[in-house]
Amino acid sequence: MIAYKQAKTEKEVHEILALQQLNLPKNLTETEIEEEGFLTVEHDFDLLKKMNDACPHTLAIAEERVVGYALSMHPKFATEIEVLKPMFTEINTVILTSADYIIMGQICVAKAFRGQGVFRGLYRNMQQFLSPHFSRIITEVDTKNTRSMRAHAALGFKELKRYAADGKEWSLIVLEYQPGD
């Protein structure tokens, strides 16, 4: 049974980091990258905790451990992660105010829990947890990550624009909803 909650403890932040490590390209085979997808950003504990303190991350929990997460990244962290700076530049060309959106900074589901609706559950719960404060969730996906591109499209994310940065093509996408939905 999967339960969803917002991160509250340092132990949970450490569990996010452990799951993240398993899904970074440096720890995956080429076949796994193509078939399962991959993560781009490697966070450190201090930044991940600061992000959580500002706006708690959404967790999928099974057997008292983190098996999936969706990171909340308030726009005030726009300059904290080098690889994400271009994303915020692009957001500012298509979104007029930062007051009504949150960045989903990274989403990951443990391999053993994929294909069971956890991805959808993380977004649904993130939206519910954050809906009193934000009307949009924005993220970007490396267009080579076809699994992630398909999964986000299936949830109703719409592309705002494509752009190139750091030698990659990115799809900047948004999920819009009404606060309180």
Helical segments of 10-159, H only: 10-22, 30-36, 45-54, 85-94, 118-130, 146-155
Query: CB neighbours (10 Å) of residue 22?
Result: 12
Mean pLDDT for 103-124 is 94
Q: Where are the domains of the chain?
A: 3-176
Give per-residue pLDDT as tens, 125-161: 999 998 888 889 999 999 998 889 999 999 999 999 9
Chain centroid to Cα 94, Å, comes to 20
Query: CB neighbours (10 Å) of residue 116?
Result: 15
Cα 67 to Cα 64: distance, rounded to the nearest angstrom:
9
**In the structure, what pLDDT confidence band is assigned to residue 96 with cuts at 50, 70 and 90?**
low
Query: What would the CATH number be for the domain defined by 3-176?
Result: 3.40.630.30
Mean pLDDT for 42-48 is 95
- Return the SS3 of 104: strand
Give per-residue pLDDT as tens, 159-169: 999 999 989 99
Q: How many helices (H) and strands (E) in the chain?
A: 6, 7
Q: In 3D, which of 127, 126, 116 has the Cα closest to residue 67?
A: 116
Cα 76 to Cα 55: distance, rounded to the nearest angstrom:
11
The residue whose two tokens read 């932040």 is 13
Tokens encoding 99: 């007051």
User: Which residues share a beta bridge with 42?
Assistant: none
Cα 7 to Cα 94: distance, rounded to the nearest angstrom:
30
